[in-house]
Amino acid sequence: MAADRGVGFGSRGARAAGGPAHYREAVTRPRTLTDDLRDRSDEELAELLAQRPDLTAPVPGDLAALAARAASHASTVRALDGLDQRVLTVLEAVTLLPAPASVTALAELLGAPAATVSSAVDRLRRIALLWGSDDDLQLPAVIRDLARFPAGLGPPVADALLGVGAGRLAPLLAAWGLPAEPDPLRGLARVAAYLADPGALRDLLVELPADERQVLDALNSGVPVGLLNGAAGPIRLDPRDPPARRLLGRGLLVGRPDDTVVLPREVGLALRGGRPFPDLDLSPPEPGTEPVRARSVGSTAGGAATRFVALVGQLLEAWGDQPPPELRSGGLGVRELRRTAALLDLTEPEVALVLETAYAAGLLAPGSDPEAGWLPTPAYDRWRAGAPAQRWVVLAEAWLTMPRLPGLVGSRDDRDRPFPALSRDLDRPAAPTLRAAVLRLLGEVPTGRRATPTGVAALLSWRAPRGAGPERDLAVGSMLTEAEELGLTGLGALAEPGRLLAAGDPAAAAVALRPLLPAPLDHVLLQADLTAVAPGPLEPELAAALGAVASVESTGGATVYRFTETSVRRGLDAGYSAADISDLLRTRSRTPVPQPLSYLVEDVARRHGRIRVGTASAYLRCDDEALLAEVLASRRTTALRLRRLAPTVLAAVAATPQVLAVLRAAGFAPVQESLEGEVVLTRPARRRAADRAAPPRRGLPPAPRPELLRAAVRALRAGDRASAAVRRPVPAGALPRTGSSATLTTLRAAARDGRPVWIGYVNAQGSASSRVIQPTSVEGGYVVGYDSRHEQTRTFALHRITGVAEIDADPDEAGQAGEPEVTSALDG
């Protein structure tokens, strides 16, 4: 297709340097976008806001403000991002037609069925990128700016040659055998008229030498601008010149002062046989799908989900014991990443996904103190206590909404530095939108089939051509892999829990996942090589107990535990007795307990605790046992909490200075020993970062709920009426004043009918203001209403409302009825 990426709307934010000159003479538009919006029904307005949620943040004051925002550059770019190839092509075609365009003209220009064009036009109209009737289509000016080279065509020759002096036009007129013309504007008109004749152009092109034709073709199949030194120099036709310069002489290219040449639109169209999109195909590409065993999809996804949840647990347990340091620039060092990858037996990108998901779910955070490193948060402890399906939902949701691309880890940035995991470098605000688009697409694949990664990428490129490219294809590729690892998909097809989660129903997703997870077991198999095999996931308390007395050797569908002296000792340290361990083994093993294992437990227990270690802050040493006995017996030393360790040694809980002081006060004569040899043992049980909110999930503004949309539309209408209400000049400071019962009645009626009203209000500081509110409830002495100026719902105390005035469409009527006078001048 001629409308290549990089031209037309394909290139993001490419703004034309100057305005589109050739529409200067455009007829005055009969209507404005504001008028058009005003004529729309509430449902239509709600749909516009739903399709372009950025317009509701915040809700504009009135319809004029809405129209202005809808036609702004930023919002228009966002709206274009959501359009597919077909709609974008139609929009590009509109910019090629003189205003006002019509559906018929568009269909003719594109050579496409009117119905196809019409549906695209409808879509554009719904989102306010077009307005007006089918034969009077209007376009916001910003769209013309954005479509720099619509369909890859250059500007019309009249625009391209604008400002060229008569001296440079003369050789062109001569070359075509036209009469000379001293006035540049008239000369320009003559040139334009000549090129506007398709017959004349065709003749020119047919006779063109091959090398010149090649230059034209190149400019016609991409950006219609090329570089040429001295492009704006004198125009002449010399056969010894290079082809581009000869084309300048023929007037088929136009040189510009910035050393570029441009292919005029007329020439481009002629080269394409008169159609801007010569081989146009407006239908979406076939999604490449292949069959997949539907039964295996769920079980594979369930397996992956189990594994992923286990990996996050394993990772955070390990990091809780040995937190890796945080890089000064944020994130995790490459060496730490590798170490963790080895620990979990994963590749680096896989580990990055586990890390990033845990981080996005708020289970992992850098400790408050920069030296603390990356630590599990208290939220992790709560997460760990949840059911497996619930745990998975937390992780999968975090992945869906994280504005980051973990898939970048392992590749290098433009400066050839590796992307560190958990660093800001991975932030990509568009990621959640893209993920949602990918999952939506997977969700459309019929059961029993799966989309191929290339098919997904191709279809996405068609659905959202803006932003498409190798970088996005890579991101999509890693998202597909990640979805598989998380268990949102199984064998490449969207599984039921993933489908429900993507549809925004986490509770149902958890329910759907449960049957896919293997049932927890209550037993293990013990073997003489001192291993225990759990042939499936274990009940949490059994897993915890085994984890305490044996070390995990391999994980997956099953878990292999190995009993060693160290692991048994760890169990004893954790408070299990030899009898507890033997009981555990006997009751939870399907197989008899092997003799070497019971021997091991007893042997370790026999030696356990022969050395006792305790904490003392100070010690007292004295060769005279009697003297120590006296110290111990003294009532004045009880505060030191002395304990006899050996006949000649006492330990004190109190610190050395205090011990010295108390002993001296009690009449003894102690001296302090150097600190050498003193041992203070403390070990924090579990290290955790301070609880803090999960990192922000930006990028994907929540889809506005219908109630919100209705309220927003009401507010817009109210604002519109408010701004349309012509108010009589009133003395400054006048507020609506009505009696309290009249106030109440009017407010209640307004709340019932959903009408906006003007109120006068005195706030707690005593300052008075007036505002337009849309009351939603009036009770208990308070009015709750939407304040259209502040764009938020507020609560007003009834007794502070000085008066109410209904807003009338006809200002004269309001005046005649003697309604209170209103001003907005007071409100800040």
List residues near another protein by CB under 8 A.
Answer: 296, 299-300, 302-304, 307, 345, 350, 484-485, 490-491, 518, 525-531, 533, 535-536, 554-558, 560, 591, 594-596, 599, 603, 607
Q: Closest by alpha carbon to 340, among 351, 332, 354? A: 351
- The H-or-E segment that residue 787 falls in is strand 782-787
| Interior angle at CA 818, CA 815 and CA 820, nearest 5 | 90
The residue (of 518 and 815) whose beta carbon lies closer to another protein is 518
CB of 344 to another protein, least distance (A): 9
Contacts of 535 (CB under 8 A, 6+ apart): 521, 524, 525, 557, 558
C-alpha span between 460 and 87 (Å, rounded) = 14
The residue (of 528 and 574) whose beta carbon lies closer to another protein is 528
Phi and psi (nearest 5°) for 560? -105, 125
CB of 337 to another protein, least distance (A): 18
CB of 277 to another protein, least distance (A): 39
Q: How far is CA 85 from CA 80, 110, 238, in A?
A: 10, 14, 43
Order across the sheet with 618-621: list the strands. Answer: 618-621, 649-652, 642-646
Decide: 647 and 676 in contact? Cβ < 8 Å. Answer: no
Q: Closest by alpha carbon to 100, among 67, 133, 126, 124? A: 133
CB of 590 to another protein, least distance (A): 8
Order across the sheet with 551-554: list the strands. Answer: 525-526, 531-534, 559-562, 551-554
Rg of the chain, C-alpha, whole Å: 39
Contacts of 525 (CB under 8 A, 6+ apart): 532, 533, 534, 535, 589, 590, 591
Tally of CA atoms within 13 A in the half-sphere of 313 that contains its CB: 21
Tokens 């990089």, residue? 6
CB of 310 to another protein, least distance (A): 9
C-alpha span between 275 and 279 (Å, rounded) = 9
CB of 392 to another protein, least distance (A): 15
CB of 486 to another protein, least distance (A): 12
CB of 391 to another protein, least distance (A): 18
The residue (of 298 and 362) whose beta carbon lies closer to another protein is 298
Question: In sequence order, what are the beta bridge partners of 769?
Answer: 761
Q: Closest by alpha carbon to 33, among 71, 89, 6? A: 71
The residue (of 554 and 824) whose beta carbon lies closer to another protein is 554
CB of 715 to another protein, least distance (A): 50
The encoded tokens of residue 693 equal 């909110």
Buried b (16+ CB within 10 A) or exposed e, 403-436: bbbbbbbbeeeeeeeebbbbbebbebebbbbbbb
The encoded tokens of residue 145 equal 């700016």
Residue 253, classed as helix, strand or coil, is coil
The residue (of 183 and 345) whose beta carbon lies closer to another protein is 345
CB of 601 to another protein, least distance (A): 11
The residue (of 587 and 591) whose beta carbon lies closer to another protein is 591
The residue (of 491 and 632) whose beta carbon lies closer to another protein is 491
Decide: 105 and 97 in contact? Cβ < 8 Å. Answer: yes
The residue (of 16 and 528) whose beta carbon lies closer to another protein is 528
- The H-or-E segment that residue 758 falls in is strand 757-762
The residue (of 204 and 355) whose beta carbon lies closer to another protein is 355
CB of 778 to another protein, least distance (A): 59
The residue (of 239 and 291) whose beta carbon lies closer to another protein is 291
The encoded tokens of residue 626 equal 């009697």
CB of 554 to another protein, least distance (A): 5
The residue (of 157 and 315) whose beta carbon lies closer to another protein is 315
CB of 358 to another protein, least distance (A): 18
CB of 60 to another protein, least distance (A): 49
The residue (of 341 and 661) whose beta carbon lies closer to another protein is 341
CB of 303 to another protein, least distance (A): 3
Strands 489-490, 364-366: pairing is unpaired
The residue (of 527 and 617) whose beta carbon lies closer to another protein is 527
CB of 320 to another protein, least distance (A): 21
CB of 694 to another protein, least distance (A): 27
The encoded tokens of residue 704 equal 């506005």
C-alpha span between 426 and 409 (Å, rounded) = 8
The residue (of 214 and 591) whose beta carbon lies closer to another protein is 591
The residue (of 29 and 523) whose beta carbon lies closer to another protein is 523
C-alpha span between 715 and 370 (Å, rounded) = 48
C-alpha span between 102 and 38 (Å, rounded) = 22
C-alpha span between 495 and 298 (Å, rounded) = 6
The residue (of 302 and 376) whose beta carbon lies closer to another protein is 302
CB of 243 to another protein, least distance (A): 39
Question: In sequence order, what are the beta bridge partners of 554?
Answer: 560
* Start-to-end CA span in the chain (Å): 55
Tokens 């769209």, residue? 143
Question: In sequence order, what are the beta bridge partners of 772?
Answer: 758
Decide: 642 and 627 in contact? Cβ < 8 Å. Answer: no
Strands 782-787, 792-797: pairing is antiparallel
Strands 525-526, 531-534: pairing is antiparallel
The residue (of 274 and 609) whose beta carbon lies closer to another protein is 609
Tally of CA atoms within 13 A in the half-sphere of 338 that contains its CB: 4
The residue (of 535 and 815) whose beta carbon lies closer to another protein is 535
